[in-house]
Amino acid sequence: MVQPANVEEVARLVGWCAEQRVPLVPLGGNTGLTGGSVPDDSGKAVVLSLARMNRIRAIDPINNTLTAEAGVVLATAQSAADEAGRLFPLSLAAQGSCTIGGNLSTNAGGTGVLRYGNARELCLGLEVVTARGEVWHGLRGLRKDNTGYDLRDLFIGSEGTLGVITAATLKLFPKPAAQVTALAALSSPHAALKLLELAQSMLGPALTGFELMSQMCLSLVARHFDDCTAPFDAPHPWCVLLESSDSQSEAHATERFDALMEQAFESGLIADALIAQSIAQSRKFWALRENISEAQAAEGKNIKHDISVPISSIGDFVAATDAALARQFPGVRMVVFGHLGDGNLHYNVSPPLGMNEDTFLAMQDDINALVHDAVAANSGSISAEHGIGVLRRDEMLRYKSPVELALMRTIKNAFDPLGIMNPGKLIG
Ligand code: ZN
């Protein structure tokens, strides 16, 4: 593993790898979920850690931009924006250790996408070391730039297979005056979709979070975390966490949430609702959502899916796929949660109670095929925000058309003709 300190050192290293035909695996915060930054077993690859490139190079509050090196930890970028009186809205569970370079190379999503977009939509410009060891100085802070092919958007989401992102110019936003969180209990994802529509019409752009959780998720969190019980009097089949970011005040945000919940209750969309009365209570509500993955891991092995379908199809997708899994794999427990407002669910499957883990994992390919075929039938994606890496590579080949795959290979060969950039990942 090598840890260059600046872009010139990265360029010299990549140039040397190109000369020697040595494969290179770029590494950010090591929090990826699809193995994109893990070298193969050959022992021949150089792992290029960007950890030492961790400077915030500039903040321009008038242009609303922040320029950060690839190794800046996401939470550090958020704090730097905050100190400048601005918001950098990318937000995900790994933010304390994931890095800007990794966020961009995987086009990370998270809980703020509903209002602010994913990593791609938050990036205006890039500095990249090409597979030949040249530097592309593309750190433009422009909102408008129609000057041909968008190289920036090709590098974003390419998982280190086209070049090495060394710095980025990112979009900042006004800091909200208050953030208020609410929980709503309801009967089905269909009801949650209707609540989303109502919340968007009543709150407009102030609606910045809309996270769905099944009762199974909440019971796992209650079992494996202290002080993490859903605050409703009785369990409900589904629960939504809503977040409002208000430009006026906490009182104003709470007032608008009250009006929303009253109308949702009157229209029969929700069975119960709670609006957080303090920042501490808001944190407790968020903890229910953020602890799901860890609670599921504590419960044992599980099979994960990171899917998206058109938002309008989510209710039918969950109902039909739950039923098909229950028919073919009796007793499996669905742990379904995620970013309903983005059409993106973490549709995870835990083994039937008492089943041996190896027996369960032997069913993994069949369970993946059932879930992902249902995703494809709904014109969805088998990787909404985690990327392809090695984990989803073969499955991607199954679901993308030959035309799309051929165009992707053409791009790969044009950018990395020697095939040294993160081989074996994505399309390489
Ligand atoms: Zn997610």
Which pLDDT score is estimated for 270? 98
Q: How far is the CA of 348 from the centre of ligand 1 (A)?
A: 12
Q: What is the pLDDT of residues 24-41, one digit of tens each?
A: 999 999 999 999 999 999
Q: Are residues 265 and 358 in the same domain?
A: no
CATH of the domain at 144: 3.30.465.10
Q: Look at residue 391 and tell me if it is in a domain.
A: no
Contacts with 121 (C-beta within 8 Å, 6 or more apart), sequence order: 171
Cα–ligand 1 centroid distance for 283 (angstroms): 18
Q: Is residue 398 part of a domain?
A: no
Residues 118 and 196 in one domain: no
Quote the ligand 1 centre to 18 CA distance (angstroms). 36
Residue 282 to residue 182: CA distance in whole angstroms: 8
Number of domains in the chain: 3
Let me know whether 86 and 134 are in one domain.
yes
CATH of the domain at 378: 3.30.70.2740
| Closest among 77, 76, 73, 101 to 88, alpha carbons compared | 77
| Cα(221)–Cα(298) distance, integer angstroms | 10
Q: Is 259 within a domain?
A: yes
> How far does the centroid of ligand 1 lie from the alpha carbon of residue 381, in Å?
14
In this structure, the answer to whether residues 277 and 329 fall within a common structural domain is no
What amino acid is encoded at 147 in this protein? T
386 alpha carbon – ligand 1 mean position (Å) = 8
| Ligand 1 mean position, distance from CA 338 (Å) | 6
> Checking DSSP bridges between strand 86-87 and strand 46-49, what pairing results, if any?
unpaired
Task: Quickly state the pLDDT bin for 230 (edges 50, 70, 90).
Answer: confident
Q: With contact defined as beta carbons under 8 Å apart, do 2 and 46 qualify? A: yes
Domain-embedded: residue 294: no
Task: Using the predicted structure, report yes or no on whether residue 189 has a pLDDT greater than 80.
Answer: yes
- Centroid of ligand 1 to alpha carbon of 232 (angstroms): 24
- How far does the centroid of ligand 1 lie from the alpha carbon of residue 127, in Å? 27
Tens of pLDDT along 368-389? 999 999 999 999 999 999 999 9
Q: What is the pLDDT of residues 7-29, one digit of tens each?
A: 999 999 999 999 999 999 999 99
Residue 114's identity, in one-letter code, is L
Read out DSSP for 225-256?
STT----SSS--SEEEEEEEEESS-HHHHHHH
Q: In angstroms, rounded to a whole number, what is the distance separating the alpha carbons of residues 421 and 413?
A: 11
Q: Are residues 209 and 274 in the same domain?
A: yes
Q: Examine the domain organization and report whether 374 and 253 are in the same domain.
A: no
Same domain (yes/no): 120, 267: no
Residue showing tokens 């949702």: 264
H or E, element range at 134: none
* CB neighbour class for 200 (10 Å; exposed up to 12, middle 13-18, buried from 19): middle
Q: Determine, yes or no, domain membership for 315.
A: yes
Instruction: Give the residue from 174, 196, 221 where a domain finishes.
Output: 174
pLDDT at 245: 96
Contacting residues for 130 by C-beta, under 8 A, at least 6 apart: 14, 136, 163, 415
Q: How many CA atoms lie within 13 A of 399 on its CB side?
A: 23
CA of 418 to the centre of ligand 1 (A): 34
pLDDT value at residue 162: 98
Q: Domain check: are 67 and 26 in the same one?
A: yes
Kindly state the percentage of the chain with pLDDT values over 70.
100
Q: Average of pLDDT values for 300-309?
A: 96
> Cα of 41 to ligand 1 centre, how many Å?
29
Give the residue from 181, 185, 277 showing the smallest Cα distance to 240: 185
CA of residue 112 to ligand 1 center, whole Å: 10
Boundary (domain end) residue, out of 224, 251, 282: 282
How far apart CA 46 and CA 1 sit, in angstroms, is: 6
143 Cα to the center of ligand 1, angstroms? 27
Q: Confirm whether 409 is domain-assigned.
A: no
User: Which pLDDT score is estimated for 210?
Assistant: 97
Q: Please say whether the beta carbons of 405 and 397 come within 8 A.
A: yes
Position 302 confidence tier, pLDDT thresholds 50, 70, 90: very high
Q: Which pLDDT score is estimated for 308?
A: 98
180's CB contacts (< 8 A; 6+ apart) are: 243, 244, 246, 250, 253, 254, 257, 275, 276, 282
Tell me: do 168 and 206 sit in the same domain: no
| Residue 198 and residue 335 in one domain | no
Ligand 1 geometric centre to CA of 98 (Å): 14
How many other C-beta atoms lie within 10 A of the C-beta of residue 251? 11
Question: Of 174, 190, 217, which closes a domain?
Answer: 174
Rounded Cα gap, residues 66 and 81, in angstroms: 7
Tell me the CA–centroid distance for residue 373 and ligand 1, in Å: 21
Q: CB 401: neighbour CB atoms within 10 A?
A: 8
pLDDT of residue 84: 98
Closest CA to 240 of 112, 385, 340: 340
Q: Are 136 and 206 in contact (CB under 8 A)?
A: no
Residue 115 CA to ligand 1 center (angstroms) comes to 15
Ligand 1 centroid–CA 344 distance in Å is 8
Domain that holds residue 268: 178-282
**26 and 155 Cβ atoms separated by less than 8 Å:** no
Sequence-distant (≥ 6) Cβ neighbours of residue 282 within 8 angstroms? 179, 180, 181, 276
> CA–CA separation, 96 vs 102, rounded Å?
13
Q: How far is the CA of 379 from the centre of ligand 1 (A)?
A: 19
Domain assignment present for residue 219? The answer is: yes
User: From the CA of 142, how far away is ligand 1's center (Å)?
Assistant: 29
| Mean pLDDT over each residue of the chain, to the nearest integer | 96
233 and 139 in one domain?
Answer: no
> What spacing in Å lies between the alpha carbon of 403 and ligand 1's midpoint?
29
Q: Is residue 359 part of a domain?
A: yes
Tokens (6 digits) for 328 = 């073919």
Q: Is the model's pLDDT at 428 over the cut of 90? A: no
Same domain, yes or no: 169 and 26: yes
Q: Is residue 263 over pLDDT 80?
A: yes
Q: What is the DSSP letter of 291?
A: T
**Ligand 1 geometric centre to CA of 226 (Å):** 23
Residue keyed to tokens 């400048």? 84
Backbone angles phi, psi at 167, to 5 degrees: -160, 160
For residue 258, how far is its CA from the centre of ligand 1 (angstroms)? 27
**pLDDT (0 to 100) of residue 231:** 87
